């Protein structure tokens, strides 16, 4: 929840200032009048300003975006933040220069940041949403890489007649492998092990 306190000649003026700073409409805000204010003698002497506290409950998307912006600012980078929502998923994409540090080796840093954002923004929420974080289109490139890997290793397993075990992957990446090879009549896939070392096995059908 974000909240600001503002003072002005009247309650309505103070509320307007607070809404402007928060960047929200009156309908979304909760207004608490801390001091009504009063006009002084002849409207000049002894007047007292009105004071209000205006708060707004942030959506999961708004909280996620703010957290990501804070992280980017903390490491002294600049990035444009693009968002979209589909059902129960929030997609956040960062565009800018020198953002490779946010991706890390094979997306490890990006996946860790995405995990932390999900935990932080869904805490104490009744209706939770999944946040997918991307940097410079990395997710799409990684998906295409994994699809090619899946097809190549499936052919290897079929040709040699032996199972092929992939390196540990997060659930999102394992799903890409499973979906790429789903429906084939010469091999099948399954996962084994415990997180975060859970792996996919590509096995030939006997």
pTM greater than 0.85 (yes/no): no
Cβ atoms of 178 and 143 closer than 8 Å = no
For domain 141-204, the CATH class is alpha beta
> From CA 193, how far away is CA 56, in angstroms rounded?
44
DSSP-assigned beta bridge partners for residue 6: 52
> In this structure, is the dihedral angle defined by the CA atoms of residues 162, 167, 169 and 173, taken in order, positive or negative?
negative
> In this structure, is the dihedral angle defined by the CA atoms of residues 133, 102, 194 and 141, taken in order, positive or negative?
positive
Out of 1.10.8.640, 3.40.50.720, 1.10.150.530, 3.30.300.20, the CATH code matching 60-136 is: 3.30.300.20
Q: Where are the beta strands (DSSP E) in 129-172?
A: 130-135, 164-165
The length of the chain is 206
- Domain residue extents for the chain: 2-56, 60-136, 141-204
pLDDT in tens, the chain (206 residues): 778 888 888 888 888 888 888 788 888 888 888 888 776 555 555 568 888 898 888 888 888 999 999 999 999 999 999 999 998 999 999 999 889 999 998 898 999 999 999 999 998 777 889 999 999 999 999 999 999 999 999 999 999 999 999 999 988 899 999 999 999 999 999 999 998 889 999 999 97
């Amino acid at each position: 929840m974000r909240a600001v306190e503002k003072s002005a000649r009247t309650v309505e003026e103070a509320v307007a200032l607070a809404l402007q700073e928060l960047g929200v409409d009156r309908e979304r805000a909760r207004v608490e009048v801390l001091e009504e204010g009063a006009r002084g003698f002849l409207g000049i002497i002894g007047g007292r300003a009105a004071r209000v506290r205006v708060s707004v409950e942030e959506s999961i998307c708004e909280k996620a975006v703010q957290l990501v912006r804070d992280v980017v600012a903390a490491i002294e980078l600049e990035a444009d933040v693009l968002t979209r929502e589909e059902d129960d998923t929030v997609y956040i994409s960062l565009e800018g220069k020198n953002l490779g540090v946010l991706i890390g080796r094979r997306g490890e840093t990006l996946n860790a940041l995405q995990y932390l954002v999900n935990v932080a923004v869904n805490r104490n929420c009744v209706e939770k949403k999944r946040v997918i974080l991307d940097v410079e289109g990395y997710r799409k490139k990684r998906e295409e890489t994994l699809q090619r890997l899946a097809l190549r290793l499936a052919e290897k397993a079929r040709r040699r007649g032996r199972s092929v075990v992939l390196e540990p992957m997060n659930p999102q990446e394992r799903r890409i492998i499973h979906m790429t090879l789903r429906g084939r009549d010469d091999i099948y896939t399954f996962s084994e092990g415990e997180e975060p070392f859970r792996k996919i096995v590509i096995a030939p059908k006997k």
